Structure 1
């Protein structure tokens, strides 16, 4: 609470005000005393849980030394002779 804290007049009793023809002001010793407290608990919203897709296991590969081009469905590349830059 500071000097800039603001409350509306509904939080004060009628006897807390000083009335003038132009406006009403609070008496210096007024203390806010009217609050509409509720003992009712607001229920929490239900959280929606979205299923997380299962990670598929990675296929296991042999290390580079164990790989075979035929097993991988690859064709061997023909040897390139010095100076021969044509492709197939």
Structure 2
């Protein structure tokens, strides 16, 4: 199907929790537990540690996704998506 999923992807400044590469786009995910950070914190970590840096020469769309999990409800608490259009 042309989709590749990688977890705990290491780079010089840290490691991304998950990266999904498709034919046209690369999705970079960072996950936080509700007590350890918000979706905004997760998204900021992706930017601060430049997890997308190695893909900048690629012609693919790069989408950053920060998510936090609600420990009590055991569901996604919140998420933010940042692509070329800005934060969604």
TM over 0.5: no
**How does the TM-score come out when normalised to structure 2?**
0.21
Q: Tell me which protein shows more strand as a share of its residues.
A: 2
Q: Relative contact order (alpha carbons < 8 A, sep ≥ 6): 1 or 2 greater?
A: 2
Richer in helix (by share): 2
TM-score, length-scaled by structure 1: 0.21
User: Considering only CA atoms, is the larger Rg found in Structure 1 or Structure 2?
Assistant: 1
